Amino acid sequence: MSKEPELTKEDLVVGATYRGKRFVEGPFGGNNDRYILWMSDTKVQYDSDTVRDGANYPTVPIEKFLKWAKKRVEPVDGSQK
């Protein structure tokens, strides 16, 4: 079984969805995938089903996001959010 290559900063794209190394699917259909809303040279801001309604979107260092992320996920219908 071949291991997928680790993501790099260059692989991250605003508007793309990424799946974590420990994928969790909630009992009501939600999951912990993260959708990148904004990105700078050092930080990523994302939305996810795990972000509570009314809460600010989390902003984390790119290194922390890359440590969490396993791969980019394509939507079922082929379009982005």
Confidence (pTM): 0.81
Cβ atoms 71, 18 nearer than 8 A: yes
Domain ranges of the chain: 9-73
Residues 6+ apart with CB under 8 A from 39: 12, 14, 45, 62
- Using a pLDDT cut of 70, give the percent of the chain over it: 89
Closest CA to 18 of 32, 2, 39, 38: 32
Closest CA to 49 of 81, 11, 79, 77: 81
pLDDT of residue 79: 53
Closest CA to 44 of 9, 72, 74: 9
27: tokens are 């009992």
Instruction: Give the pLDDT confidence of 47-64 residue by residue, as tens digits.
Output: 998 889 999 999 999 999
